[in-house]
Structure 1
Amino acid sequence: MYLIKTPWLLKKLYPQLIWNKSKADRCIYLTFDDGPIPIVTTHILNILKQYNAKATFFCIGDNVAKHPDIFKQLTDDGHAIGNHTYNHLKGWETDNKIYLDNFLQADKVLDTHLFRPPYGRIKRQQIRDLQDTRPDIKIIMWDVLSGDFDINLSPEACLQNVLKHTEAGSIVVFHDSLKAYDRVKYTLPRALEVWSKVGFSFCPLPL
């Protein structure tokens, strides 16, 4: 069970987290979690380039260590980088010290103050620990969840998820993972085409 559109009440309960940006600039903030992954991340980069779109990639430290060439392509193409822990840890099920240490292990590789907790699951104490350790940290959540990770979701349903719920200032979650590949490679170019025609631009999250 997951929600495509983040409810306002959840945003209100965690105001210290970033759920969306200002609507004033007519910008959509595309984000991609769990990479870099061969073939998948590269394909996404090619699609983004066709639409002159910049995005933010929340990278798993272990994947960066395995695929440094793809990670370099992310930065060379001008996309923003975020920390997604070193081993994709679920905060609710992880000891606070282990969670912080895993974040710091990834931070050595990524050196970014953008962070997204895997699965969106993070304890309040873990939030405080991250903020105490790295005072400049921005913990990024989302406004729209595409559902591309859901193997039971059709590519067309994934497309409709984002087209229906995305608006100016939305932070939208996709995944550059093997599990999401069928849906993201279908949805991303079609959504970019629609959004471009109505005047949206595609921005990386501010560093």
Structure 2
Amino acid sequence: MKMYWVKTGWFIKKLFSGYVWDMPNNQKTVYFTFDDGPTPKITEWVLDILQQHNIKATFFCIGNNIVQHPDIFKRIIAEGHAIGNHTFNHYNGWSTNNKIYLENVAAAEKVILEQNPKFKQAKLFRPPYGKMTPLQAKHVRNKGYKIIMWDVLSADFDTTISPERCLKNVIDNTIEGSIIIFHDSVKAAKNMQYALPLAIANLKERGFTFDTMA
């Protein structure tokens, strides 16, 4: 099993206070986010589920996937979801030259803006793997981005855990203001497609509402 925190600790949030980890509120509002799409069939399945429940979410899209699947990206926008930049090639900032990394962020922004000019008004960025250097973060923020991380990691990407564990990760750790991360990717599909509908039902039953990050 991979090593990661399902619930982001207060010390991490304090250490990296320039990032957005949660959105505390008194309305029991939480925030579903989806990384790595658009992906044929999988992103469309997510959109169908969200539409059934009248939930708006935030999709952190890979630029290259937008280029390959523009119709799915257009549907995300048309159905009122927020968009975030997830680089063009899903680069790990810790192992990527700063110049190359920032050029990759800019390339993703370009393809997002071509189909969604409103992105200029609420620029959101999530680093792939949650990894970027302080210099990369500084430059991204200087370009007007909010860097969005997460409070609850579903771990749907982890093929060594069961779908039931993925669901438990979400429902046991979500509180008011939680930013919850799923992945609309092939790798995560089995866990995500089991956990998402049941998480929605559980959270609704507990009185939670849902909103976008933008």
The 5 A counterparts of 1:1-207 are 1-111=3-113, 112=119, 113-132=123-142, 134=143, 136-206=144-214
CA distance in 1, matches of 2:162, 2:18: 34
| One-letter identity of the residue aligned with 1:127 | A
| One-letter identity of the residue aligned with 2:71 | D
CA distance in 1, matches of 2:27, 2:79: 22
Tell me how far 1:110 sits from its aligned partner. Answer: 1.4
**Contact conserved, 2:32 with 2:211, CA < 8 A, in 1?**
yes
Tell me how far 1:23 sits from its aligned partner. Answer: 2.8
Tell me how far 1:148 sits from its aligned partner. Answer: 0.1
Tell me how far 1:26 sits from its aligned partner. Answer: 1.1
Gaps spanning 5+ residues in structure 1: where? none
Tell me how far 1:59 sits from its aligned partner. Answer: 0.0
CA distance in 2, matches of 1:198, 1:164: 12
The number of aligned residues is 204
Cα deviation per residue 1:106-129 (whole Å; 9 max; x = unaligned)?
A: 000113310000000010010111
Instruction: Report the TM-score when normalising by structure 1.
Output: 0.97
The answer to which of 142-151 and 191-200 deviates more is 191-200
Cα deviation per residue 1:5-26 (whole Å; 9 max; x = unaligned)?
A: 0011111011110000023121
| One-letter identity of the residue aligned with 1:174 | F
Gaps spanning 5+ residues in structure 2: where? 114-118
| One-letter identity of the residue aligned with 2:46 | I
Find the counterpart in structure 1 of residue 116 from structure 2: none
Tell me how far 1:64 sits from its aligned partner. Answer: 0.2
Q: CA RMSD in A?
A: 0.8
Tell me how far 1:67 sits from its aligned partner. Answer: 0.1
Identity %: 51
**Contact conserved, 2:141 with 2:147, CA < 8 A, in 1?**
no
Q: Give 4+ residue runs of structure 1 displaced > 6 Å after superposition.
A: none
| One-letter identity of the residue aligned with 1:52 | N
Tell me how far 1:50 sits from its aligned partner. Answer: 1.2
| One-letter identity of the residue aligned with 2:188 | A
| One-letter identity of the residue aligned with 2:124 | L
Secondary structure in structure 2 of the residue aligned to 1:41: helix
Instruction: Report the TM-score when normalising by structure 2.
Output: 0.94
Secondary structure in structure 2 of the residue aligned to 1:97: helix
